[in-house]
Structure 1
Amino acid sequence: MNNNLNFNNLNKTPVRTKSWLNVNDITLRDYKAPEIGSFNNDKITGSDLEGVTIEKLNKGNVFPLNKKFIYGVSDEIVNQGEFDFNKGYVINIAKNAKVQEPIIIEFNMDNENKTLVDNILIVAEEDSNAKVIIKYNSLDDSEGYHNGVCKIFSKNNSNIQVVKVNLLNKNTMNLDSNLSDVGYNGKVDFVSIDLGGKNSITNYHGDLLEDNSESTLSSIYLGGDKKVIDMNYVMTHKGRRSKSEITTKGALKGEANKIFRGTLDFKRGASRSVGVEDEYCMILSPKVKGKALPLLLCEEDDVSGEHAAASGKIDEAKLFYLMSRGLSYNDARRVIIEGAFNPIIDKIDNENIREAILASIKECLDNE
């Protein structure tokens, strides 16, 4: 597979702002993608659930996507995920199916499976409900490369939750592009747990096509050492009375660097639509760098949009209170951070995965 990818100007904002702010995009200098080999260490749970069909993805069953906008980390990186993938699945939720148990796909990277380019298509037919969890894990310290593409089609009156959990090691590049097309009265609840990777570049575009469509995005991130975390979330309102919400919580330590871009884009005709976005970053070290760019774009008068981003140190009074009850400084700090993260972690309908997330948070915070 072609590995001559361009890592310049990734995760571009929908509209450009002042160049001296250095938030319009990100460039990964001196990084070269490895040769993409085979990947044979994945596991699927839930393929036998009633109303669920899971097939291996190939070029013959890739669904066409009528897109009139740019999505993903970059066109070139998305094209690798769409056409040069080494692992792919189509998940179909049947019409009227109400799937109670989550569908889980686990990708386990190791020395024998160190390059993963995955392409996941999720189709929720009319009046269906389901939950899909996609987990990325490292079994050793091998240098790795992950480039994922996930496209979610939520048809009329469907309700689909998609969770992505990144628990990759500190030697793995993580690139992740996600897109949802939401039909009439449909809902997509996207959850991103971004804890791993040497660098993590993630992108989500919710396209609210029809009336009463809804897309929510809840994400947490945690960065240490010199990790780069770059997020670009876009909600595009096209249908009337459409709703969107972006909620992001994060923490940075060491010399980590974070950029958050969140955009609410109200197109003409999206009357009476509502969008809200909020990002908060907890600063754990004086050497971290955190930037945020909340954007509100509007072509329609009768809409409501709220956007906010903030950062700050952990409340000293809370730390003092917890330490006065016998907790160490590290434990008190972890309790506060977990308290901010838990409302998002608790949305995941699998206890083992929730516990793995909490263990990863503890490991990162304890590793000074």
Structure 2
Amino acid sequence: MEKTAMKVGHIPSLTWNRLEANEGTAPAGLAASLDVETRFEKLPEGVTHRRMSGKEAAKWLEKYAPEEKAEAIVAGKVPIYHPQRFGTGLGAEYDAFLEKSGTVYEMLEVAPDTRCEEPVVWSVDFYDGNEASQGQLIRVGENSHLTLLLRAASGSKEKGTAAFSTKIILEKGASLFLVKAQILGEGYTFLDDTGAALAEGASMKMVQIELGGGRVYIGTQPELIGDRSSFEAHAGYLGNDRKAIDVNYNAIQRGRRTNVKMSFDGVLKDRSEKAFRGTIDFRKGSKGSKGDEQENVLLLSDDVVNKTLPIILCEEEDVEGRHGASIGQLDDDILFYMASRGIDRKEAEQIMVRARLGAVVREIPDLPLRAELMNKIEEAFAK
């Protein structure tokens, strides 16, 4: 039986197919049936943890996840998300892949009116040859707060497949600061899927940094269901050697006076490739809402391939949306200025990369993790 590639990260409204930007394509024959080791530091009072099977996770989502309505206006849109009970950035085919893999889910629940001031560090370690997956379910109760640092790592030369699925429910007035940091080996294929449902007054901030792996597929879909809910994301990525990176962020705004702000900072060097799809989707009823997305890409080689597709979709009149992208190489004036002070081109590139990606890393509230990530950035220029 012929194995087919997996379509991930579909945009909700298609563009010209010749650009090959409508979706990502994960290699055929991927497997991720191994369970992986999870390491928690001490969980704060009011936070509970338990494991469950994929079937148990599906039943849990049916009980606690809010209803995700279909579009009011569907002309030109693709119903690719409709088969999902809980919408995510990588989509329905990835859900089916996880189900076939027998993925086990780790669940964190925060009790109502609980303020977790110290970050919870969640480390997942992969090893050479692993073909592994893990699901994460996170539910933050009413008027509660959680800071969660989710780290995926392996040895720098190791290879394998690592698959994540993170599904988040934020109740009324809840807030979550989620950090996702990936420093896998250069031979790894990494798939990281996130979906979030935000109730009235809920807020979510997400910092995502992708430094490792050989093929990387990232999907994030926050759904702002409640009025005055908000989502903020700051993501960074480094493409080096022949790395391929595929990123899909799809923010759906349903409630009134919701707010979305997403910024992406990337660096591409050597013969790396990157495709980015960022969508702000104002649904009917989202009056008074605002959305903003910006991407800045630094190209350090003539051999890189960059695709950027910013999208705004609108079913409502009284909204404010903005998007943009800045893509280019180091300015000659900057290089001349640095050369006049004895800084060669390679060192100048390092300085700019440290500044660009360091701005993302500095938002992480954990000094050991920040140091580990900055060391990974330095390693990319040590070859």
- Normalising by structure 1, we get a TM-score of 0.92
Find the aligned partners of 1:193 and 1:21 in 2 and give their Cα distance. Answer: 26
Greater shift, 255-264 or 342-351, is seen at 342-351
Q: Retained in 2: the 8 A contact 1:228–1:256? A: yes
- Normalising by structure 2, we get a TM-score of 0.89
Match of 2:112, as an amino acid?
A: K
Find the aligned partners of 2:100 and 2:25 in 1 and give their Cα distance. Answer: 23
Q: Shift of residue 330 of structure 1?
A: 2.8
How many equivalent residue pairs?
361
Q: Retained in 2: the 8 A contact 1:123–1:154? A: yes
Q: Retained in 1: the 8 A contact 2:166–2:194? A: yes
In 2 relative to 1, CA 360–140 (structure 1 residues): closer, same or farther, beyond 3 Å?
Answer: closer
Percentage of pairs with the same residue: 26
Q: Shift of residue 241 of structure 1?
A: 0.2
What's the counterpart of residue 11 of structure 2? 13
Q: Are residues 1:45 and 2:41 paired?
A: yes
Q: Shift of residue 329 of structure 1?
A: 3.4
Match of 1:51, as an amino acid?
A: G
Q: Retained in 2: the 8 A contact 1:172–1:198? A: yes
What's the counterpart of residue 222 of structure 1? 238
Find the aligned partners of 1:295 and 1:99 in 2 and give their Cα distance. Answer: 35
Find the aligned partners of 1:351 and 1:328 in 2 and give their Cα distance. Answer: 30
Task: Map 1:201-350 to 2 at 5 A.
Answer: 201-350=217-366
Q: Shift of residue 68 of structure 1?
A: 4.3
Q: Retained in 1: the 8 A contact 2:156–2:185? A: yes
Q: Retained in 2: the 8 A contact 1:46–1:101? A: no
Q: Retained in 1: the 8 A contact 2:236–2:360? A: yes
Find the aligned partners of 2:221 and 2:193 in 1 and give their Cα distance. Answer: 8
Q: Shift of residue 8 of structure 1?
A: 4.0
Q: Shift of residue 27 of structure 1?
A: 2.5
SS of the residue 2:24 aligns to = coil
Q: Retained in 2: the 8 A contact 1:5–1:77? A: no
Q: Retained in 2: the 8 A contact 1:224–1:254? A: yes
Q: Retained in 1: the 8 A contact 2:198–2:224? A: yes
Match of 2:91 among 54, 69, 74: 74
Q: Retained in 1: the 8 A contact 2:32–2:163? A: no
Task: Map 1:159-178 to 2 at 5 A.
Answer: 159-178=175-194
Q: Are residues 1:101 and 2:97 paired?
A: no
Q: What 5-or-longer segments of structure 2 have no aligned partner?
A: 71-80, 82-87
Match of 1:33, as an amino acid?
A: L
In 2 relative to 1, CA 346–310 (structure 1 residues): closer, same or farther, beyond 3 Å?
Answer: same
In 2 relative to 1, CA 173–283 (structure 1 residues): closer, same or farther, beyond 3 Å?
Answer: same
In 2 relative to 1, CA 323–92 (structure 1 residues): closer, same or farther, beyond 3 Å?
Answer: farther
In 2 relative to 1, CA 277–140 (structure 1 residues): closer, same or farther, beyond 3 Å?
Answer: closer
